[in-house]
Structure 1
Amino acid sequence: MQGVRFAQAGRKEHVVYITIGKIISNPPVLYYCIRGGTTSMKYVVNAFVGTLRSIVRLLGLSAMAAFIVAGAVALRHMLETPQPLESLLPGEAHLYRWQHGHIFYKLAGKPDAPPLLLLHTPELAASAYEMRGIMTLLAADFRVYAPDLLGFGLSDRPDIDYSADVYTQLCRDFLSQVVRQPATIVASRLSCNYAVAVAATSPGLCERLALISPVALFGDQPEETRLARVLTAGLLEAGPVKSLLYPSLVEIPRVMARLGIGLEKPQMTSATASSNDAPFDYIYATTHQFGAEHASMALLAGKLVRDVSREIEKVQQPTLIIWGAGDLERTRHIADQHSTFWGAQQTQMSLLQGAGRAVHEDLPEIVVKTLLQWSEGGISQVLQAASVSESADASGVNGATHRAKEPPASIETAHSAPHIEAYCMKCKKKTVMLNAHEITMKNGRTAVQGVCAECGASLMRMGRLVPGYPQTPV
């Protein structure tokens, strides 16, 4: 509050205490202040200056408080690091001595089975544990390799310049020096970029390519986003910022636990970790390791994203893309941007209902069923919708009715062939209907029901199916 004096003609001088906000928002008051002369203007200026000083003082106190809290969190994180960490994946434990450190991996399956490499996505608290749901099932038919990427899990976490090129080279070296024969690569999310780069540049190492939720596959970023990442990369990887920011990020589960939202303080031991507690325990333990912040902060700085928009057009291996219907909603433009790849005869897609980005964690049995059918040449459609409910089993992957001997179709031929179209409320346009079948409504009328080929939402339109054309309505 500042005292602002102004005089009115024929009256005594009064002192009116008003705030800066009232001066600005009240034109008559501001007018009288200005008419009051130099003295009045002086008080107005002093009021502004005083308010600005108060704001700066409050900001300084807030910054100091935030710094103290972050320092306390970092100190507690340091005192609780390292935590005992043990792999919960099945199979034999092995170490691969790479140029930047030791790479831990699990190996499962018969020695004479075809090799398959599982690549988890690099993210905060990431590790090959992400593949726990599908590894055991795949080991029945494949020789499965599941490494922890450098900087994650039980692999070394050196303080190096982490980048997408580092992980691409790691995948290439692991295949050539450990697997030592062409393998099927099953990659998740950001690791799909590394898998595509390896398949395009070293085709002799990759026999087949399966991409799970490849949301970062195309690096079509605006120039403003790229510039912002370049400017923030150095700041995020600076020593003091890294030491304070990373502990704050990984301590969020503890804060949630104290608020009654998450778990209580976990104790990671293989003997006491139940199946329900294990994910939380493992996340807590893997984030409390020496050097865990290096790769995670490089990820936040955008250094682990690789633009493979050119390399992907060179991929010749049979490729399967598995999407969760909930995740495909925000990435429908991908097919239009890279129609050459998506429409290629060797590329097939499977759209699974009831799953989001982590489709292999949400529906592991169905994902494995899809992979096995694809490896045997059994998937014959570009998009395949699996209707999933609580009572569904692994056979739900065949929820879409397809002709058994229909040849693989590209996106172009799929749209030019006879098909059903219906208006999708979610997409707000007409889309192709998959898994079309006739139903009888309560009023006795016949309708055609199915799912949207783009977002997986339920579709329905009045009419019947034309005899001989099971996907074409009258």
Structure 2
Amino acid sequence: MQPSTVANTINLTASPSQFYSWQNSRCAYEVHQPINTTPEGIPLLLIHPIGVGLSRQFWQRFCREWYNAGERNSIYNPDLLGCGESDMPHVAYTPSDWAEQLQYFLQTVVQKPVVVVVQGALLPVAIALVQKESNLIARLVLSGPPTWALITNKSPEWQQKVLWNLLDSPLGSAFYRYARTRKFLHSFSTRQLFASDNAVDAEWLDTLLAGAENPASRHAVFSFLAGFWRQDYTSFIASIQQATLTVIGETASSISQEGKKETPDERLADYLSCLPQGRGIKINGRNVLPYESTAEFVAAIAPFINEVF
């Protein structure tokens, strides 16, 4: 599916980058609101994916389409620590670290319940956030979550540490220099993320190149690649009491060997069988639905977000 076409006149206002301090680090975010009208409904809190060059900029196309579709919810779009305009300390980040950052953000900046919209394998961050601050989460949207095999199997701690030490080395730095080239980003995106090669456009690649310009951005990426997020989340998913919508791409795939044989229907069924208040839908696209299938993604989640329960 081709990316959404965005009109030249966009019914959107975004504040300039704003900042708050958390654990001696400066963290960035932006707030979007509909123009010339009062925001309505539950605010959205967006959790961007982790990867080479990825940050809150991942959600810009979604935010534009949200308001073009006539929706009026405020949108809070933060940069996780180690990404975008947030500080990038040289540490091994865990889902709990990022969840604590977002918990503080909810408590001090947003100060009201939100709908969490989380992309891909950052699901563990949303799960940890629910555990820490359930009262400020009204419902959840899971966009292209990991395969069930990945989200329910813990990788050995020794393996995580070995991978981190290997990546956090001159060899890893050399790899990152190659990984942030346009050639690599285009190849990886077409092989692993998008259903259509044509959807890997200049906007996508330029955003990743800009996001990866600071070499310190590698620490968050290496934390993800080392697998610090790889735990068994079965019981935590089963304990989520908020209504949760799982959105899967028709051609969803997995980078990991554990999930290679799983079909999108099987993935969706596994999540729905575990979530106490789970709903599910499949739409066109592969693994980055808010970007590749923006209009369809917005149409799929808006009724759920604004439904009166």
TM-score with structure 1 length normalisation? 0.51
State which of 235, 252, 264 in structure 2 corresponds to 1:327: 252
Structure 2: how far apart are the matches of 1:254 and 1:370?
32
Q: What's the secondary structure of 2:299's corresponding residue?
A: helix
Q: CA 1:308 to 1:188, structure 2 compared with 1: closer, same or farther past 3 Å?
A: same
> Structure 1, unaligned stretches of length 5 or more?
1-88, 262-275, 379-407, 409-474
DSSP-derived class of the 2:282 partner: strand
**2:303 counterpart residue number:** 373
Q: 1:277 to 1:251 in 2, by over 3 A?
A: closer
**1:216–1:255: structure 2 CA closer, same or farther, 3 Å change rule?**
closer
SS of corresponding position for 2:285: coil
Shift of 1:319: 0.9
User: Contact 1:200–1:312 at 8 Å: present in 2 too?
Assistant: no
SS class of match (2:75):
strand
Runs of 4+ in 1 over 6 A off after TM superposition: 254-257
Give the aligned partner of residue 102 of structure 1: 26
For residue 326 of structure 1, report the CA deviation from its aligned partner.
Answer: 0.6
Residue in 1 aligned with 2:63? 135
Cα deviation 1:394-421 (Å, max 9, x = unaligned): xxxxxxxxxxxxxx9xxxxxxxxxxxxx
Residue number among 277, 283, 293 corresponding to 2:202 in the alignment = 277
Residues of 1 paired with 2:233 and 2:95: CA distance? 11
Quote the offset at 1:248 in angstroms: 2.2
The residue aligned with 1:242 is 172
Separation (CA, whole Å) in 1 of partners of 2:99 and 2:184 = 34
Which structure is higher in strand share? Answer: 1
Q: CA deviation at 1:279?
A: 2.6
- 1:186 corresponds, among 97, 108, 117, to 117
The equivalent of 1:119 in structure 2 is 47
The whole-number CA distance in structure 2 between the counterparts of 1:255 and 1:204 is: 39
| Partner deviation per Cα, 1:433-463 (whole Å, 9 max, x = no partner) | xxxxxxxxxxxxxxxxxxxxxxxxxxxxxxx
Larger helix proportion of the pair: 2
1:92 maps to which of 15, 38, 53: 15
Amino acid in the other structure paired with 1:341: C
- 1:165 is matched with which residue: 96, 110, 113? 96
Aligned amino acid, residue 26 of structure 2:
H
Pair 1:277–1:357, CA change in 2 (3 A): closer
- 1:188-213 CA distance string (max 9 Å, x none): 01222211222244211101111101
- C-alpha deviation, 1:336, in angstroms: 6.2
Displacement after TM superposition at 1:305 (Å): 4.0
Q: Is the 8 A contact 1:190 1:215 kept in 2?
A: yes
User: Aligned runs of 1:140-219 on 2, under 5 Å?
Assistant: 140-215=71-146, 219=151
- Is residue 225 of structure 2 the alignment partner of residue 308 of structure 1? no
Query: 1:297 pairs with 222, 227, 235, which one?
Result: 222
What is the DSSP-based 3-state SS (H/G/I as helix, E as strand, rest coil) of the residue aligned with 2:228? Answer: coil
Structure 1 residues 391-406: aligned runs within 5 Å: none
Larger RCO: 1 or 2 (CA < 8 Å, sep 6+): 2
Relative distance call for 1:106 and 1:305 in structure 2 (3 A) is farther
Q: Cα offset for 1:338?
A: 5.8
Partner residue of 1:357? 287
- SS state at 1:234 partner: helix
Structure 2 CA distance for aligned equivalents of residues 243 and 294 of structure 1 = 10
Distance in 2 between residues matched to 1:129 and 1:152, nearest whole Å: 10
Deviation per CA, 1:51-104, whole angstroms, max 9, x where unpaired? xxxxxxxxxxxxxxxxxxxxxxxxxxxxxxxxxxxxxx9611211222152222
What is the CA-CA distance between 1:244 and the residue it aligns to?
2.1
Correspondence for 2:6: none
Q: Return the alpha-carbon distance in structure 1 between the equivalents of residues 76 and 116 of structure 2.
A: 10
SS in 2 for 1:166: helix
Question: What are the Cα deviations for residues 323-342 of structure 1, in whole angstroms up to 9, with x where unaligned?
Answer: 11111754554466566534
Structure of larger gyration radius: 1
Q: CA shift at 1:355, angstroms?
A: 0.9
Deviations 1:33-57 (A, max 9, x none): xxxxxxxxxxxxxxxxxxxxxxxxx
Q: Aligned pair count?
A: 270
Tell me which amino acid in the other structure corresponds to 1:315.
Answer: I
Distance 1:323 1:241, change over 3 A: same
Contact 1:197 1:308 in 2 (8 A): no
CA-based RMSD of the aligned residues comes to: 3.1
Unaligned runs of 5+ in 2: 1-11, 191-200, 254-261
Question: In 1, distance between residues paired with 2:154 and 2:243?
Answer: 31
Secondary structure of 1:327's aligned partner: coil
